[in-house]
């Protein structure tokens, strides 16, 4: 397990050690597994392909398939074809523990999670209202000459700046900056952030994780602190900059990536995660290795919140160390908001952040307000160069395959 005070790593045969904030010397960018890796970095065994199993046949390569190969493939696929074309996935659920998205409970506690929108009509109405509000906010920000933020946000910040205005920053006041009510998991996350805790949010795409970040950023601005919003990609940083300007105003927002640096001292700065990591290490270099922690705390002393968007990159074998280093080296006075839709063990991630940085809670929901639609693509009868077509992969119940699929022919083609 990486620790704050001491870290030893090997890179490409070299041995690089740094303690007390000194700069690490990386001999190679290739990462080797640590002795006590965090839970999300522990490799999981993968099933061997048929030709790699003991006694298995070698791969055929590019040579033509023989008649014996075709008969063997047909016999081995009959059982799978019968199971898949039966219209039920129960056998796959039993074998692999498959669970459909949106099923099960939220918050990691296993309780049944209710649909906050009631029915499909209410969900569509809420989506239309959200789109209209976002378009109006972007148009208002573009037309605003002085670069101010949304009127509701400006009113909240003005109330917080008045004498005794700290009491004005409540969950209800933060919810008021949005033209829609917050969902239960969003309220739970914002309430934890108002208590001074760090939070890990795991929710499906489109569930509203960005609204949590905007509410937390508004609370930090009301407290006179700056906000750093990190993303793994330059393109995503540019998109988040536009969203931040629509909410908080052009004058408050900045951008730092490898391509551009706009208003880097702004109150809300969007940057790639590597930029934040480099900021932390440059402060250590400036101190000469003697007081790196104090210099880092001083440089980031006016920052109250760091948002780690797409935090599942922490498990990436090439770039994951960047997110680990940010969490470990982040000053303790800064709250962390880690968000992702694909972290499989968010409770473990929250526990590790609690150990390395400060108390952290995990908020999880599996309800998906934007439903997924599963399709399959196939070539027309005119051949592989003919026009392709899309079809529904599942039947009307959503639990079985489309009966129109000729699975046996499909699987035989895949086997070749």
Residues 226, 333, single domain; the answer is: yes
Residues 133, 84, single domain; the answer is: no
Q: Where are the alpha helices (DSSP H) in 50-199?
A: 67-84, 90-96, 120-143, 151-161, 171-175, 184-194
Residues 305, 385, single domain; the answer is: no
Radius of gyration (C-alpha) of the chain in whole angstroms: 26
Residue 329 has pLDDT above 50, yes or no: yes
pLDDT at residue 404 in the model? 72
User: C-alpha 99: how far from its chain's center?
Assistant: 20
Residue 345 has pLDDT above 90, yes or no: yes
Residue 115 lies in a domain: no
- Confidence class of residue 141 from pLDDT cuts 50, 70 and 90? low
Distance CA 174, CA 158 (A): 13
Residues 93, 139, single domain; the answer is: no
Instruction: Give the SS3 label for residue 238.
Output: helix
Residues 352, 277, single domain; the answer is: yes
Residue 392 lies in a domain: yes
Residue 64 lies in a domain: no
Domain of 290, CATH number, reads 3.40.50.300
39: phi then psi, degrees, rounded to nearest 5: -55, -35
Task: Please give the residue range of the domain that contains residue 17.
Answer: 6-37
pLDDT at residue 319 in the model? 95
Residue 46 lies in a domain: no
Residue 112 lies in a domain: no
Element (H, E) at 16: strand 14-19
Residue 237 has pLDDT above 60, yes or no: yes
Residue 209 has pLDDT above 60, yes or no: yes
Residues paired with 271 in a beta bridge: 230, 256
Residues 233, 315, single domain; the answer is: yes
Q: What is the mean pLDDT of residues 348-353?
A: 96
Instruction: Give the SS3 label for residue 370.
Output: coil
Q: Are 135 and 244 in contact (CB under 8 A)?
A: no
Per residue in 243-267, pLDDT (tens digit) is 999 999 999 999 999 889 999 999 9
pLDDT at residue 113 in the model? 60
Residues 294, 328, single domain; the answer is: yes
Residues 386, 413, single domain; the answer is: yes
Residues 279, 319, single domain; the answer is: yes
Locate tokens 């592989």: which residue? 384
C-alpha pair distances (Å), 34 with each of 23, 37, 43, 258, 340: 19, 5, 12, 29, 24
Report for 31-35, 94-98, 383-387: range of highest mean pLDDT: 383-387
Residues paired with 82 in a beta bridge: none
Distance CA 305, CA 227 (A): 5
Residues in the chain, how many? Answer: 416
Q: Is the pTM of this model over 0.75?
A: no
Give the range among 208-222, 270-284, 377-391 with minimum mean pLDDT.
377-391
Residue 309 lies in a domain: yes
- Confidence class of residue 115 from pLDDT cuts 50, 70 and 90? low
Residues 225, 279, single domain; the answer is: yes
Residues 285, 380, single domain; the answer is: no
For the chain, what is the domain count?
3
Q: Are 197 and 335 in contact (CB under 8 A)?
A: yes
Residue 88 has pLDDT above 70, yes or no: no
Residue 266 lies in a domain: yes
Residue 136 lies in a domain: yes
Residues 301, 410, single domain; the answer is: no
- Confidence class of residue 369 from pLDDT cuts 50, 70 and 90? confident
């Amino acid at each position: 397990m990486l620790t704050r005070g001491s870290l030893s790593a090997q890179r490409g045969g070299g041995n690089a050690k740094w303690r007390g904030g000194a700069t690490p010397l990386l001999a190679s960018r290739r990462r080797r597994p640590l002795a006590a890796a965090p839970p999300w970095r522990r490799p999981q065994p993968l099933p061997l392909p048929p030709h790699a199993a003991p006694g298995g046949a070698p791969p055929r390569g590019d040579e033509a398939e023989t008649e014996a190969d075709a008969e063997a493939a047909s016999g081995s696929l009959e059982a799978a074809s019968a199971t898949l074309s039966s219209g039920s996935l129960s056998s796959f659920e039993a074998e692999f523990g498959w669970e459909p998205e949106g099923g099960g409970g939220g918050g990691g506690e296993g309780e049944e999670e209710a649909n906050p929108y009631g029915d499909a009509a209410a969900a569509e109405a809420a989506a239309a209202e959200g789109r209209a509000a976002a378009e109006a906010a972007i148009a208002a920000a573009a037309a605003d000459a002085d670069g101010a933020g949304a009127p509701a946000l400006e009113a909240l910040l003005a109330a917080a700046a008045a004498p005794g205005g700290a009491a004005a920053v409540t969950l209800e006041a933060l919810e008021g900056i949005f033209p829609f009510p917050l969902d239960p998991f969003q309220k739970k996350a914002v309430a934890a952030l108002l208590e001074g805790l760090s939070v890990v949010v795991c929710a499906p795409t489109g569930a509203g994780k960005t609204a949590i970040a905007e509410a937390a950023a508004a609370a930090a601005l009301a407290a006179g602190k700056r906000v750093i919003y990190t993303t793994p990609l330059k393109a995503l940083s540019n998109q988040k900059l536009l969203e931040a300007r629509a909410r908080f105003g052009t004058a408050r927002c900045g951008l730092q990536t490898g391509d551009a640096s706009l208003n880097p001292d702004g109150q809300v700065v969007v940057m790639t995660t590597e930029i934040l990591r480099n900021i932390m290490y440059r402060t250590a270099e400036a101190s000469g290795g003697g007081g790196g922690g104090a210099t880092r705390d001083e440089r980031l002393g006016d920052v109250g919140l760091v948002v780690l968007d797409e935090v599942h990159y922490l498990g990436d074998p090439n770039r994951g160390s960047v997110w680990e280093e940010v969490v470990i080296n982040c000053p303790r006075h800064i709250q962390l908001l880690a968000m992702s839709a694909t972290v499989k063990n968010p409770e473990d991630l929250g526990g590790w952040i609690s150990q390395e940085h400060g108390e952290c809670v995990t908020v999880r929901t599996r309800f998906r307000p934007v439903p997924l639609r599963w399709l399959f693509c196939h070539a027309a009868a005119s051949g592989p160069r003919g026009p392709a077509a899309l079809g529904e992969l599942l039947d009307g119940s959503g639990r079985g395959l489309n009966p129109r699929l000729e699975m046996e022919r499909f699987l035989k083609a895949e086997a070749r």
